[in-house]
Amino acid sequence: MSEIQETVLESFQTFQSTQLVKDKYENILEHLDSGIILFDSHGILTFVNVQMAKLLEIPRASLIGCTLTGILRHPQLSRLNKRKLLRIYRETIFHRKKHHEFCDDRGGHWLLTVTYGDQMNGDFLLSAKDVSDYKQIEQTAYQNDKLAMLGKISASIAHEIRNPLTAIRGFIQLLRPHLLQIGKDEYAKIIMMEIDRGNDIISEFLNSSKPTSPQTSVIDVSSLLKDVVLLTESEALMNGCQITMQDRELPLYISVDAKQIKQVILNIIKNAMDAIADLGHNHPGMIQIHTEQDHKNVQIHISDNGKGMDNNTLSRLFDPFFTTKESGTGLGLSVSYRIIKNHGGYIYVDSVLGKGTDFMITLPHN
């Protein structure tokens, strides 16, 4: 009898030990920053962690025991998440792909990995990892390469144009006494003025494609924004737009090149006015500006209710020479990106086609 008791006791202790290990690993999985969901060989959901439940926006308890069809029919599953789940199913399970990338409603990038087969004993494990930081680094590196190339091309073009302009200017100066003799000195003056204007245009183009190092001074961000609003208010009213700025009680100081930051904000506001104008004069345009403090950064938010942008336009928004306007140069936002980067900041954009666009500029707080 004692041998049987010892065997039972050992079995019980082994079970307890196994259960403790299982609980420990389940607890780790539950609190990972990656989303985890597990289906058994019958397609029944047996485990889901906190992060995955947040992504689905459904309580964990109501997910356990559901099939994929049951999740899709879940009363708390939003229409947007339902479309995402169907797309994930099509890209991974149906097409047998092990990786799929998707964006959440806040613009975050997620990498979904599916594990199945012999190593899972028929189970399906889906994990979703937030790769937003990696995407941002990748995008920044890609953007920097393009802007560096733009600077080289601009310098080369400017050099090739300036050379003949310098030669023409020199010969006109030599011919000027002869033109003066025949009473045509005004022709020489006009030619010289136009050559100088051409040189000024080239200088502006070089400055816009490769902004100079910022000459910083400490300034209250609200006073800087008020100056920009004053500059654009009359033009906005003429275009049927209203610009509103939420003022702060306490000042927020930033160390920036005021001229360059004004250039960035003016560019974004003018783009917002154009986006509103595309919807027609009957559309009541609204551009809202407000500031926030986030830890060590100051955030400048500029939102409009214009026509918005699709994902394709958003992905190319800061590309040099990319524009959706007939008369645009495609340099405004690429230059703005470079200016903010030179100040140690970043520009974030969120847009919904047909609803509007939100720009957020972050700059270090002084």
User: What residue segments make up the domains of the chain, in order of their start?
Assistant: 31-130, 135-209, 217-364
Segment 254-258 shows an average pLDDT of 91
Which two tokens mark 257? 């090149």
Query: What secondary structure, in 3-state letters, does the chain show?
Result: CHHHHHHHHHHHHHHHHHHHHHHHHHHHHHCCCCEEEEECCCCCEEEECHHHHHHHCCCHHHCCCCCHHHHHCCCCCCHHHHHHHHHHHHHHHHCCCCEEEEECCCCCEEEEEEECCHHHCCCEEEEEEECHHHHHHHHHHHHHHHHHHHHHHHHHHHHHHHHHHHHHHHHHHHHHHHHHHCCCHHHHHHHHHHHHHHHHHHHHHHHHHCCCCCCCEEEEHHHHHHHHHHHHHHHHHHCCEEEEECCCCCCCEEEECHHHHHHHHHHHHHHHHHHHHCCCCCCCEEEEEEEEEECCEEEEEEEECCCCCCHHHHHCCCCCCCCCCCCCCCCHHHHHHHHHHHCCCEEEEEEECCCEEEEEEEEEEC
User: What whole-number distance in Å separates Cα of residue 135 and Cα of residue 238?
Assistant: 40
Please count the other Cβ atoms lying within 10 Å of the Cβ belonging to residue 130: 17
pLDDT at 158 over 60: yes
Q: How would residue 304 be classed by pLDDT, with cut points 50, 70 and 90? A: very high
Backbone angles phi, psi at 58, to 5 degrees: -135, 135
Phi, psi of 292 (to 5 degrees): -140, 160
Burial class for 39, CB neighbours closer than 10 Å (0-12, 13-18, 19+): buried
The residue-averaged pLDDT of 241-257 equals 88
CATH number (3.30.565.10, 3.40.50.2300, 3.30.499.10, 3.30.1130.10) of 217-364 reads 3.30.565.10
The answer to whether the CB of 81 falls within 8 A of the CB of 57 is yes
pLDDT at position 221 is 93
Is the model more confident about 195 or about 134?
195
Is there a contact between 230 and 275 (Cβ–Cβ < 8 Å)?
Answer: no
Q: By the 8 A CB rule, do 102 and 110 touch?
A: yes
Residue 363 has pLDDT above 60, yes or no: yes
Average pLDDT estimate for 231-242 = 85
End-to-end CA separation in angstroms for the chain: 79
* CATH number for the domain running over 31-130: 3.30.450.20
Q: Looking at per-residue confidence, does 109 or 151 come out higher?
A: 109
- Mean confidence (pLDDT) of the chain: 81
81, 56 in Cβ contact below 8 A?
yes
If one counts every other C-beta atom within 10 angstroms of the C-beta of residue 232, the result is: 20
Residue-wise pLDDT tens digits, 15-24: 455 555 555 6
Q: Which residue has the higher pLDDT, 10 or 228?
A: 228
* Residue 270 reports pLDDT greater than 80: yes
* 134 contact partners, CB below 8 Å, separation of at least 6: 109
Residues present in the chain in total = 366
Confidence category of residue 134, pLDDT binned at 50, 70, 90: confident
Average pLDDT over residues 268-274: 92
CB atoms within 10 A of CB 131: 15
210 pLDDT exceeds 70?
no
Q: Give the residue-averaged pLDDT of 282-301.
A: 89
Of the listed ranges 10-19, 39-48, 256-265, the one predicted with least confidence: 10-19
- Range 49-75 average pLDDT: 87
- The whole-angstrom separation of Cα 276 and Cα 269 is 11
Do the beta carbons of residue 336 and residue 264 sit within 8 Å?
yes
Amino acid identity for residue 48 in this structure: V
Q: Cα(90)–Cα(73) distance, rounded to whole angstroms?
A: 17
Checking if the pLDDT of 218 tops 90, the result is: yes
pLDDT > 90 in the chain, percent: 16
pLDDT in tens, 312-344: 888 888 887 778 877 666 778 888 888 898 899
Sign of the Cα torsion 313, 352, 273, 299 reads negative
Average confidence (pLDDT) over 23-36 = 70
- Report the DSSP pairing between strands 346-352 and 297-304: unpaired
Which pairing describes strands 124-130 and 109-115: parallel, antiparallel, or unpaired?
Answer: antiparallel
Ranking 27-31, 100-104, 294-298 by mean pLDDT, the lowest is 27-31
Per residue in 70-115, pLDDT (tens digit) is 888 898 888 888 888 888 888 777 777 788 787 766 667 778 888 8
Tokens 């009957």 — which residue?
282
